[in-house]
Structure 1
Amino acid sequence: MVYTYKEIFNKYKDDYKIRKALENKEIYKIEKGIYSDSKYANPLIVYSIKYPNAVITMDNAFYFYNLTDVIPNKIYLDTPRNSHPIKNNKIVQLFSDEDLLNIGKNVVNVENQEIYMFDKERMLIELIRKRNKIPFDYYKEIISNYRDIADELDMYKIENYLSYFKNDVNLFDTMQREVF
């Protein structure tokens, strides 16, 4: 499990006991303000807890949903447009309007901890929106995998999500051509 400082403080009641728990390897400090009961913590969980307003997106979501076998080497976080920039070379920060950030936002369970991640339908829209910014082979691999699960996708959700985007007609046409 991954914990915030506040959660660890509630458990151990003071900083002295926290330091003792760290020395005895009962808990491990992962980053400033983030602790774990195991030596290595899943970065998706760590950064979801560290940045609670962020949503996991792009490469991490595609990998989580088994749409690609390429293991992401960075964490992709979508944050509100007015957020402070995250200065961490392990994170790729994307900015979205507040209303777009909640579309398709889903709670998923990763190693018995809940984190925010966009659902498959929203990720299809993001893939189509950002198709010119990602490598062509990678795009084709994910589109091919979306074709395989096209029957599982909720078209009502997709149409509803698309209505929030400016170029919804173009996105829908591309989606129809590429996936369905």
Structure 2
Amino acid sequence: MIMSYEEAIKEYGSDYKLKKAIDSGNVFKIENGIYSSRKYNNELEVILKKYPKAILAGEYAFYIHGLTDVIPEKYFLATSSKAARITDKRVEQLYVRQDLLPLGVQEIEKNGVVVRIYDKERMLIELLRNKNSMPYDIYKEILLNYRGIIGDLEIWRIQEYAEIFPKSKMISKALDEEVM
């Protein structure tokens, strides 16, 4: 089980007792502020525990949703545009306007890890909005996979998201021309 420092203190009672548990091998310090009862941990779980308010987005969200088989080199995390900068080298931070941040957030379980991630409908909008900032071959692969699952998506939700985002006309046009 992965714990924040606060959770570890609550579990062990004090900083002193936590350090004793670490020394005895009952708990492992994974990195600053992150502790675990296991020596080896899923890196995604560690990242999500370290940044609990962040939402998995970008190329990593496409990978988790099974829309690409390319494993991204970094974890893409969406945060509020006013959030502090994430300095972790493993993370690519995506600043999102406060009113757009919660749209389409869901929690799913992936390999035993509960992940806060944008739904497939929101990620389709993100794909169309950011197609010029990602490698063309990955864009095409994801787009082809979306065409294959379009019947499983909630079209009304895609249209609702498209109206809310900036460049809504461009998004709607791209939806009609490239996906539907």
| Normalised TM-score (structure 2) | 0.93
- In structure 1, the gaps of 5 or more residues are none
Determine the structure 1 residue equivalent to 2:56. 56
Q: Work out the CA distance in 1 between the residues paired with 2:16 and 2:10.
A: 13
What are the within-5 Å matches in structure 2 for residues 1-180 of structure 1? 1-180=1-180
Q: Work out the CA distance in 1 between the residues paired with 2:109 and 2:37.
A: 18
Q: Work out the CA distance in 2 between the residues paired with 1:53 and 1:94.
A: 13
What's the offset of the Cα at 1:96?
0.7
- Alignment check: 8 A CA contact 1:45 1:110 kept: no
Q: Work out the CA distance in 1 between the residues paired with 2:129 and 2:39.
A: 38
- Alignment check: 8 A CA contact 1:59 1:76 kept: yes
State the secondary structure of the residue aligned to 1:107: strand
State the secondary structure of the residue aligned to 1:78: strand
What's the offset of the Cα at 1:73?
1.6
Q: Work out the CA distance in 2 between the residues paired with 1:26 and 1:111.
A: 24
Please, which moves more after superposition, 23-32 or 138-147? Answer: 23-32
Instruction: Render the CA deviation track for 1:82-139: whole Å, top value 9, x for unaligned.
Output: 1111112111011011110011111122344433110111111111111000000010
What's the offset of the Cα at 1:162?
1.3
Rate the CA distance shift 1:35–1:144 in 2: closer, same or farther, 3 A: same
Instruction: Render the CA deviation track for 1:41-67: whole Å, top value 9, x for unaligned.
Output: 223222222222211101111111111
What's the offset of the Cα at 1:164?
1.2
Q: Work out the CA distance in 1 between the residues paired with 2:133 and 2:98.
A: 22
Q: Work out the CA distance in 1 between the residues paired with 2:175 and 2:40.
A: 39
State the secondary structure of the residue aligned to 2:114: strand
Please, which moves more after superposition, 160-169 or 23-32? Answer: 23-32
Q: Using the aligned pairs only, state the percent identity.
A: 39
Q: Work out the CA distance in 2 between the residues paired with 1:24 and 1:157.
A: 52
- Alignment check: 8 A CA contact 1:76 1:92 kept: yes
| Normalised TM-score (structure 1) | 0.93
Aligned length: 180
Q: Work out the CA distance in 2 between the residues paired with 1:41 and 1:128.
A: 34
Q: Work out the CA distance in 2 between the residues paired with 1:177 and 1:24.
A: 61
State the secondary structure of the residue aligned to 1:48: helix
